[in-house]
Amino acid sequence: MKLKNLISFKIILILTIIIVLITSIHTYVKGKETQEYTLMEDIDYSETLDNIKNPERGFYNTAFLRMMPSGTKPTTSGANLVHLRVNIGDFSSAVNGTEDLELTEDALNALDQTLQNIKSRGGSVIIRFAYDGFNGKKDLEPSLDMIYKHISQLKPIFYKNQDVLAYVELGFFGPWGEMHSSKVSNTDNVSRAIDLMLDTVPTNIKIGVRTPNYYAKWLGIDRSKLNENITVKGTDEYRVGLFNDGYLGSNNDLGTFLNRQIEIAWLQNQATHTFYGGEVVANANPATKPAINTVEYMSEEAFITHTTYLNSEWNGNVINAWKEETYNGSDQLYVGQSGYLYIANHLGYRFVLRKSEVTKEVNKNRNLKLNLHIENVGFANLINEKKVTLVLKKGEQTYEIPTEIDATNWNSKEISNVNIEVPLPKDIELGEWNIYLRISQNGDMGTDGNYKCIQLANKNIYDETLGANYVGKFNILEEVKEPDTSGSQDEPDTPDIPDSPDISDDLNTPDSSDGQDKTDTPDEPDIPDLPNTSDYPNKPQDPNELDPIYDNNDDKGKYSGNIDDTTVDMEKLPKTGNNIELILALVSLIISINIVVSIIKMRED
């Protein structure tokens, strides 16, 4: 009798374990399925040849503003990137013939309005100030104290308009504000100006000086060891870069560099987070030295110096040569295209979506997950931080969800592995939703007017109405109740997720079957008209007429296999199924087999 009872007990135990086993395996498989990514196959992951007008990069157009004590008229420009050249000579006694003057309220208001005008037309600004009217005349600066006063007076304007400012070139000293050929443009005076400008400009905006020597002397380091200088975010030196109006004009860029190898090595690091660019110039020594202002040379060095911007109007002869030159480099996509197109497309950052995986089905109380591979094929990085959000769209319904992704980490010549996990809005409807990646200045689709939105360099994924890039679609399913894993108390309620605002009413967004722009014809790049040399009446075409750059008190002179894993850490909702459950299930199976074997042996005995 005891033996029968023992056998019955063991049979019941076996059945119980088997049930637990089946349940555990089912739970694990179900949980595993909900976490699997699905590759989005309706996206072309190749790079387009289209010339994309993304913010804060590329060829710039110039705009001029003459600030006067009274009667200053604001100007504007419809260009994507504007080099705003501000003439403040009327405030210098060397120009007005009377006395040095502080900047007036009238003049500052005109500058403010000019920046607002450019922003209203979707542009961003690189700004420089000079006292010579940008005509190449020497020694027209006011006293040093007045120069410093003028810099400090700009602070309220810069802070108010920081969203339109891309970069501040220090300027103020020398002809064209190029910080050479001036009695007062020495390293001591410029160092003081750098300190003032760093205080004047918001901390998120970078400033540029004309030569590495100004940077080294300001920081108090040996110029010959500049390549050892690695700056840290949050420090003043992290914010100081270079502008180069002698770009590729000679082996030392018309006196910009003392030791090109060392100082280019410095730029290789420093220009990952500061702007670098300027004006390309004609070859200074065509008879004795080979030109380096060629597409072939630039296609190598510009990736090292991280060149972000160049003047579209100067030097006309060099730029025309680029347009006539055929690219025959290592980038097979551009072989046979014009050298100008290659350079235009690679200035600054250029992001290409190489892979997009999404959790295809997500229960309403679970998190949406994406894995994106984004390659930066441009010469440089995105310098100024932008807001990265996910946009969910179904018909006329639209939600924008913030993330903590920092796109300035998407390095040139590397593929970044971008993992995003976000909770769904509590009131979102069930069904199929399109997903968009939006990179913008302000991260508020309902109010920001799509200002400074970044387009990925893929075909047919950018939605101009949303200012966002299509990256996939997914289905939202009914909520699932989490199982009671404690065995003694109810599963705690899932914490409430704040509703993302439904901004559908703020947008006039037509419904589409897949939410993508279906324009198949690639845009031709805008090739700006080159000005007559009269536009630069006193700037010589012959580089030999230019003064060499030196300081008066100084001696004259990945995809590399590396993956950037950018992850948004969100509070995880409870999940069913994990590796522990699988292990327990396997252990239960082994125990069950042993019990069955034991029972069989007992019955045989």
3-state SS of 178-193 is CCCCCCCCCHHHHHHH
Q: In angstroms, rounded to a whole number, what is the distance separating the alpha carbons of residues 472 and 169?
A: 41
Any idea what DSSP says for residue 516?
A: -
Query: Angle CA(244)–CA(246)–CA(249) in degrees, nearest 5?
Result: 140
Q: What percent of the chain stands above pLDDT 90?
A: 72
Assigned token pair, 349: 């950052």
Per-residue confidence (pLDDT) for residue 161, from 0 to 100: 98
Q: For helices 144-153 and 187-200, what crossing angle results, to 10°?
A: 20
Q: In angstroms, rounded to a whole number, what is the distance separating the alpha carbons of residues 454 and 53?
A: 9
Assigned token pair, 112: 């403010």
Query: Taking the domains of the chain in order of start, what are their residue ranges?
Result: 2-30+578-604, 38-50+350-479+495-526+563-567, 55-205, 221-231+244-345
Per-residue confidence (pLDDT) for residue 287, from 0 to 100: 77
Letter for the amino acid at 110? A
User: In the beta sheet, which residues pair with residue 439?
Assistant: 388
Assigned token pair, 46: 């190749």
Phi, psi at residue 437, to the nearest 5°? -100, 120
Q: Does domain 38-50+350-479+495-526+563-567 have CATH number 1.20.1280.50?
A: no
Per-residue confidence (pLDDT) for residue 325, from 0 to 100: 95
Per-residue confidence (pLDDT) for residue 542, from 0 to 100: 42
Phi, psi at residue 563, to the nearest 5°? -115, 125
Of 259, 193, 204, nearest in space to 234 by CA: 204
Per-residue confidence (pLDDT) for residue 71, from 0 to 100: 98
Per-residue confidence (pLDDT) for residue 265, from 0 to 100: 98
Mapping DSSP onto H, E and C, the string for 117-176 reads: HHHHCCCEEEEEEECCCCCCCCCCCCCHHHHHHHHHHCHHHHHHCCCCEEEEECCCCCHH
8 Å CB contact between 181 and 140: no
Q: In angstroms, rounded to a whole number, what is the distance separating the alpha carbons of residues 83 and 59?
A: 10
Q: For helices 339-346 and 316-324, what crossing angle results, to 10°?
A: 110
Residue stretches of the chain with pLDDT short of 70 = 1-35, 288, 482-589, 591-592, 594-605
Assigned token pair, 187: 């390293």
Per-residue confidence (pLDDT) for residue 485, from 0 to 100: 56
Helix (H, G, I), strand (E, B) or coil at 566: strand
Q: In angstroms, rounded to a whole number, what is the distance separating the alpha carbons of residues 338 and 564?
A: 32
Per-residue confidence (pLDDT) for residue 275, from 0 to 100: 98
Per-residue confidence (pLDDT) for residue 285, from 0 to 100: 84
Of 534, 487, 140, 42, nearest in space to 313 by CA: 534
Q: In angstroms, rounded to a whole number, what is the distance separating the alpha carbons of residues 81 and 528?
A: 12
Rg (CA), the chain: 31
Assigned token pair, 392: 């969910």
Contacts of 106 (CB under 8 A, 6+ apart): 68, 69, 70, 71, 72
Letter for the amino acid at 250? S
From residue 288, alpha-carbon distances to 249, 266, 285 in Å are 13, 28, 6
Per-residue confidence (pLDDT) for residue 36, from 0 to 100: 85
Per-residue confidence (pLDDT) for residue 289, from 0 to 100: 79
